[in-house]
Amino acid sequence: MESPNRKSSQKVVHKSWVKENTRPLEFRLHTQQRAAQRAIFNSCVEIKLCIIEQHKKQVEKVLKVIEEEEVRMLRREMIPRAQLMPLFDRPFLPQRSTRPLTIPREPSRHIAWKHGRCISIQ
């Protein structure tokens, strides 16, 4: 069994440890700053959208002017013009060609492929 001296030496001393009351720190909400930043951001986005819209309108104007010019040119080209009347007193009679006839030859059966091309070997 244990000796009385040993028992007293193993005895753990428990202090009654009381936690002190903590005081909350002062905190600042950044809502005013955030609202100001958001307002600046919204105005920047609005300005950017206005610039994009103006650019689109300008491009549409240029395209419309180009298209109108093309239509004007087509109308100028499409003016009907009178064709020459054919000469009915001298009708067109095709003449026979004076070139000699081509002599047909038998196709060669030796075909080789080189660089993706068909080469006939004779």
Helix (H, G, I), strand (E, B) or coil at 45: helix
Our count of domains for the chain comes to 1
Please indicate, yes or no, if residue 103 is contained in any of the structural domains.
no
Please indicate, yes or no, if residue 74 is contained in any of the structural domains.
yes
Please indicate, yes or no, if residue 92 is contained in any of the structural domains.
no
pLDDT of residue 106: 83
**Conformational region of residue 104, where left means phi above 0, alpha means psi within -120 to 50, and beta covers everything else:** beta
Please report, for residues 5, 15, 111, the alpha-carbon distance to residue 122 in angstroms, rounded to integers and kept in the order given: 122, 114, 9
Please indicate, yes or no, if residue 63 is contained in any of the structural domains.
yes
Taking Cα atoms as reference points, which of 113, 22, 112, 114 lies closest to residue 122? 112
Please indicate, yes or no, if residue 2 is contained in any of the structural domains.
no
By the 8 A CB rule, do 116 and 109 touch?
A: no
- The pTM for the full model equals 0.42
Please indicate, yes or no, if residue 68 is contained in any of the structural domains.
yes
pLDDT of residue 40: 97
Please indicate, yes or no, if residue 115 is contained in any of the structural domains.
no
Q: What's the token pair of residue 97?
A: 């060609």
Tens of pLDDT along the chain (122 residues) come to 455 555 555 666 666 777 888 888 888 888 999 999 999 999 999 999 999 999 999 999 999 999 999 999 999 888 888 888 878 888 778 899 999 999 988 877 666 666 666 665 55
pLDDT of residue 10: 60
Q: What is the extent of the structural domain holding 69? A: 54-79
